[in-house]
Structure 1
Amino acid sequence: MRALIPVLLVGLAAAGAPAMAQEISARSGSRVVLGARAQIQYEASGEEDVPATFSIRRAWVTIDGTLNDLVGGRVQFNAHGASVLEAYLELRPSEAFQVQIGQFKKAMSYFWLAANSDLPLIERDGRVTGVDHCPGVGGVCSFGQFTGSLGLDNYEPGLLMTGRFANRRMGYRVTITNGEGLGRKDVNTRKSVSARLSTFFGGNSRLSAYLALDETLDSRGKTMGTPAYGAELEVGTWRNGPHLLVNGLQGRNWKLADDANFSAFQVMGLWYRPFPEGSALAAWEPLIRISWANSDAEGPGSVTGTVITPGVMIYAAGRNGISANLDLYQASGDRSHWSFKIQAFMFF
């Protein structure tokens, strides 16, 4: 662990100068903003025979284009994995009705919709390398593992409609997608629909209800609906004092069985605290995440898992800095597991 200290100091020094996305000129009078992010991770797992390792967690390039006030678009690709994450045309006729056509993050919950460059929580699913026993979805039983593995919060091609209305006190987000994951064509007779309705109050606070009418092939190869529904409360916002995000969700664990159901709950609290003016660093942000999930509330082989993640992020400037998380996992009938992660965030 001592060997990591010089690495962290170098990382913070490199991130110390503010980095901004660059606007460049483009043809037809349009404007293009070029940005990128890189996240370098170190993980030490408590599992036997799992070595501690460095890895490039993300290396993304984002190109945002604007033709005029009504038309824009985005292309975002993963330079590390050679895949397109987002690619869409955006039409903005009004604040109450905006449309994206292409590939985007479906994201019922804002927990998954939030940019990873905003989130000092290193792994949303609370993964512990070497642990892979949650029925159906694998990995650990957590809110993030179920929503991610079951395709409720994924990048998919399709149509997205969103907007704010009632003097911005209400908002909605509706997606119609193939339901097959990143870049994949549909393989059944239905489309996947997800929707979120939000009411905003007190400036930066929001209460949302969301649902998904997802679809997949059942054990007989026929199209099967897989509903999920939940609620989310957010109080506060990113890098601005205390911030609370609470989620509850129930749905179909179709990877386990056609009629298996799951339930999940998560609460995450953060507190962004700036350093005194003139300090070499910008701020620090302690965090805690508690996630509980059950793989099949009615099945005899159900597994209940709890993830507790304390952590802290040190900000050098803007979104750039170093985060440290300790994911502690306990499943029913099993011993405890842990994973310690450090991640450098670079955003420009």
Structure 2
Amino acid sequence: ADITLNDFVSARIQPDFARGKIALQDVYVRLGFSSKFRVSAGQFKRAFDIFELSSSTDLSIIERDARVEGASGCAGVSGICSYSRLIQKLKYSERDQGIKIDGSSGRMSYQFTLTNGTGINVSDENDAKSYSGRLSLAASDKVTFSAQLGVHDYLFPLVDTRTERGVDTKTARGVAWGADVEFGTWRDGAHIQASVIRGDNWKSLDASHNEATFLTTQIVASYYSETSGRLAGIEPLLRLSFGDPDTALGKNAGTVVTPGLMFYLQGKSKIGANLDVYSPQSGDTEMSFKVQTYLYF
């Protein structure tokens, strides 16, 4: 629910009902000093990834991470080596608790978040913070270029240092950076989002506690056509995703190809189907067929 008290104060409370559980997703208060400077406090999405920042009610892909049940082997993050799987599990994207500053001026817009780093509905585990920043340029009415930087704090065990509470831990930081481009807009003909991100895979450490370097890229293209009759529109889509959890090693990456089709009933209400086909460099190709209904009101 979006709540507007006046021109200066607004808020959002967004619960999630999934897998038999209820959890808070977005829950924050925003102070709008001007269009150039707004401050939010609470739980929200980090200022990083274009696909995570896009609402699930707009996206034509059913699962951002293209999950395939039973598939595993991606170094550090397990599961499949897809773009969103790496970015989410390494906590460079997804929601977190903290403070957000954003605004726009002309064709430029920016976002910056300072967060705990532990994720959704989880208390902080140390005194360090995570940072994310995103800068966008609208080159035209249909084309936007963006660059992003994320710094995530994490704990790793010092196996040679023991205290009364067990193995001692130390705070370290992983860094990721990237760029993306968006062409078009939602439900209006051709729409393309493409991104590339490189950074530290802090869940895959060597004996000296050095992070592996990951590289991932993804493009999602769709075309919305209005129809007459019982359907408001139809939208075929194609996703290509590549993820390499450790660029220093060979044959440990994976590729996802997702053809799909969305049928729009009215506005954002729709019924869609995706076929996620995952092909690891080492192992057998696996796939997952998904159908989902979205009711937006």
TM-score (normalizing by structure 1): 0.79
Structure 2 counterpart of 1:274, from 226, 230, 246: 226
The one-letter code of the counterpart of 1:230 is: G
Check the 8 A contact 1:160/1:175 in 2, yes or no: yes
Q: Secondary structure at the match of 1:69?
A: coil
CA drift at 1:89: 0.8
Partner of 1:239: 187
Moved over 4 A (4+): none
Q: Aligned partners of 1:142, 1:78: CA distance in 2, in Å?
A: 24
Q: Aligned partners of 2:38, 2:224: CA distance in 1, in Å?
A: 32
Q: Secondary structure at the match of 1:334?
A: coil
Structure 1 counterpart of 2:154, from 190, 205, 216: 216
Structure 2 counterpart of 1:148, from 70, 88, 107: 88
Q: Aligned partners of 2:33, 2:95: CA distance in 1, in Å?
A: 24
CA deviation vs aligned residue, 1:302-329 (integer Å, no higher than 9, x gap): 6110000011101111111211111011
Structure 2 counterpart of 1:342, from 284, 291, 295: 291
1:182 aligns with 2:131: no
CA RMSD of aligned residues (A): 1.2
CA deviation vs aligned residue, 1:215-263 (integer Å, no higher than 9, x gap): 1012422111100000010011111110010000011111121421110
Structure 2 counterpart of 1:83, from 18, 23, 33: 23
Q: Secondary structure at the match of 2:88?
A: helix
Partner of 1:117: 57
Check the 8 A contact 1:197/1:209 in 2, yes or no: yes
CA drift at 1:107: 4.4
Q: Aligned partners of 2:247, 2:144: CA distance in 1, in Å?
A: 29
Partner of 1:226: 174
More strand by share: 2
Unpaired stretches in structure 2, ≥5 consecutive residues:
159-168
CA deviation vs aligned residue, 1:124-171 (integer Å, no higher than 9, x gap): 111111112211101110101001111111211100001001x2x000
1:249 aligns with 2:187: no
CA drift at 1:332: 0.9
CA deviation vs aligned residue, 1:285-344 (integer Å, no higher than 9, x gap): 0100000110100146x6110000011101111111211111011001211111111111
User: Which structure is richer in relative contact order (CA contacts within 8 A, separation 6 or more)?
Assistant: 1
The one-letter code of the counterpart of 1:74 is: R
Following superposition of structure 1 onto structure 2, how do residues 85-104 of structure 1 map, counting pairs within 5 Å? 85-104=25-44
- CA distance 1:126–1:79, shift in 2 (3 Å): closer
Q: Aligned partners of 1:138, 1:191: CA distance in 2, in Å?
A: 25
Check the 8 A contact 1:178/1:184 in 2, yes or no: no
CA drift at 1:73: 0.5
Check the 8 A contact 2:203/2:211 in 1, yes or no: no
> How many residue pairs align between the two structures?
281
Q: Secondary structure at the match of 1:181?
A: coil
